[in-house]
Amino acid sequence: MCVVVVVLSMLVFGWLRSLPGGPVSAMLGERQTPERRAALEAALGLDQPLPVQYAKFMERAVHGNFGVSTKVLPGEDALDVFLSRLPATIELSFLAMLLAIALGIPLGYIAARRQGSYVDTGAVIFSLVGVAVPVFFTAFLLKYSFAVEWNLLPVSGRQSTGVDATRVTGMFVLDGILTREWDASWDALKHLILPSVALATIPFAVIFRITRASVLDVLDEDYVRTAEAKGLTSRVIRGRHVLRNAMLPVTTTIGLQVGGLLAGAVLTESVFSFRGVGDALATAFREKDYPVLQVLILAAAVIYVLVNLLVDIAYAVIDPRIRTR
């Protein structure tokens, strides 16, 4: 796992250094001359060979020092930029995954049980649309209809202006609950609905389809017939014999989708001006804020690896065949 992170850090480092423009051009802008360029490169250590630069970068990174943000929050520590944006994205991703799982698994089960029915066909088409339509389009569509046209939900941001809320964790809904400021919590939740629905579309569609396929497979298994032959109630057959086995591939899928959420968050957060990690990543990219970019990309990689580790652990918990091997 550590190997994965180190290799990723090398890739990120090398890739950012190879981009045209680079930090020096970005900092000097139109005022650059060859002399100024050389001076700044020397000052920043960019004239040294890449491996040396990488070693220095890693040395500082291990101490939590990734440099100072140039554009996203000028003057702020890059790591702090990431940490300050993280709670918003966790809150958004959590709600989005919750929606995707809470809808995807039951719908997948029902569709499989009634294979070929209108419910099944409808759900399959709906999930196809969910995967096919780009997230930013879904986001714009939701924003336009629910926020602009019908004025049901807030257009953008995380909290209405004028709401005075105490901050504890940085997750606004949770903060409101912890401090019993129910209005603030409710207001933050309303801001979360549209972005999380937009972000949930793809994970929902994927989870739905995998659940459906997996349940169809399991329903054909001999042990489900054995369970029927025992005269067990349909509730026990559904939970203990069908879903528990069908959830194995679904768990992997959920893990992969959590890892992929950040990509969706970049688009969703940008559309809804939701100040999270995805929005910071988009800004940092546009404005060539290299220290922030490095932190964010590395963090995304670490989160992805961690989630996969969690999936492996979860797999061992639900599948005894892996545990005893």
Partner 1 sequence: MTQQTHRPSQFGGGSAEPLLSVRDLRVTFQRHGEEAFHAVDGVSFDVRPGQTVGLVGESGCGKSVTSLAIMGLLPDRGNHVEGTAVFDGEDLLTLSRSAMRDRRGSDIAMIFQDPLSSLNPVVTIGRQVTEVMERHQGLSRKEATPKAADLLERVGIPDPKARLANYPHQLSGGMRQRALIAMALACNPRLLIADEPTTALDVTIQAQILALLKELVVDTGTALVMITHDLGVVAGLCDEVNVLYGGKVVERGGRHGLFKNPRHPYTVGLLNSIPRLDAVRGEKLSPVPGSVADNLPWTSACAFAPRCSNAIAPCTQETPQWDGDEVVGFRCFNPMGGPR
Task: Give least dist CB 194 to partner 1, A.
Answer: 38
Site stretch for partner 1 (CB under 8 A), options 63-71, 139-147, 150-158, 219-227 = 219-227
Task: Give least dist CB 102 to partner 1, A.
Answer: 23
Task: Give least dist CB 213 to partner 1, A.
Answer: 18
DSSP state of 193: H
Site stretch for partner 1 (CB under 8 A), options 32-40, 44-52, 152-160, 217-225 = 217-225
Encode burial over 195-221: b for 16+ CB neighbours within 10 A, e otherwise.
bbbbbbbbbbbbbbbbbbbbbeebbee
Pick one of 41, 76, 120, 221: the residue that binds partner 1 (CB under 8 A): 221
Using CA atoms, how far apart are residues 163 and 124, in angstroms rounded to an integer? Answer: 41
Task: Give least dist CB 212 to partner 1, A.
Answer: 18
Pick one of 36, 60, 167, 244: the residue that binds partner 1 (CB under 8 A): 244
Nearest CA among 272, 287, 268, 299 for reference residue 203: 268
Task: Give least dist CB 224 to partner 1, A.
Answer: 8
- CA 251 vs. chain centroid, Å, equals 16
Shorter beta-carbon distance to partner 1: residue 60 or 230: 230
Determine if 231 is a binding residue for partner 1 (CB under 8 A).
Answer: yes
Determine if 117 is a binding residue for partner 1 (CB under 8 A).
Answer: no
Pick one of 245, 253, 257, 270: the residue that binds partner 1 (CB under 8 A): 245
Determine if 228 is a binding residue for partner 1 (CB under 8 A).
Answer: yes
Task: Give least dist CB 221 to partner 1, A.
Answer: 7
CA-based end-to-end distance of the chain: 21
| Cβ atoms of residues 139 and 149 within 8 Å | no
Q: Which residue has the tokens 């046209």?
A: 149
Site for partner 1 in 279-308 (CB under 8 A): none
Q: How many CA atoms lie within 13 A of 96 on its CB side?
A: 32
Site stretch for partner 1 (CB under 8 A), options 57-65, 96-104, 216-224, 279-287 = 216-224
Pick one of 5, 232, 263, 310: the residue that binds partner 1 (CB under 8 A): 232
Determine if 233 is a binding residue for partner 1 (CB under 8 A).
Answer: yes
Using CA atoms, how far apart are residues 177 and 324, in angstroms rounded to an integer? Answer: 42
Site stretch for partner 1 (CB under 8 A), options 47-55, 208-216, 220-228, 301-309 = 220-228
Determine if 222 is a binding residue for partner 1 (CB under 8 A).
Answer: yes
| Cβ atoms of residues 207 and 253 within 8 Å | yes
Pick one of 225, 273, 286, 309: the residue that binds partner 1 (CB under 8 A): 225
Interhelix angle 135-142/244-271, rounded to 10 degrees, is 70
DSSP 54-110: HHHHHHHHHTT---B-SSSSTTSBHHHHHHHHHHHHHHHHHHHHHHHHHHHHHHHHH
Task: Give least dist CB 223 to partner 1, A.
Answer: 4
Nearest 5°: phi and psi at 65? -110, 105
Determine if 270 is a binding residue for partner 1 (CB under 8 A).
Answer: no
Site stretch for partner 1 (CB under 8 A), options 57-65, 77-85, 120-128, 236-244 = 236-244
Using CA atoms, how far apart are residues 210 and 215, in angstroms rounded to an integer? Answer: 8
Q: Which residues bind partner 1 (CB under 8 A)?
A: 221-223, 225-233, 236, 240-241, 244-245, 248, 318-321, 324
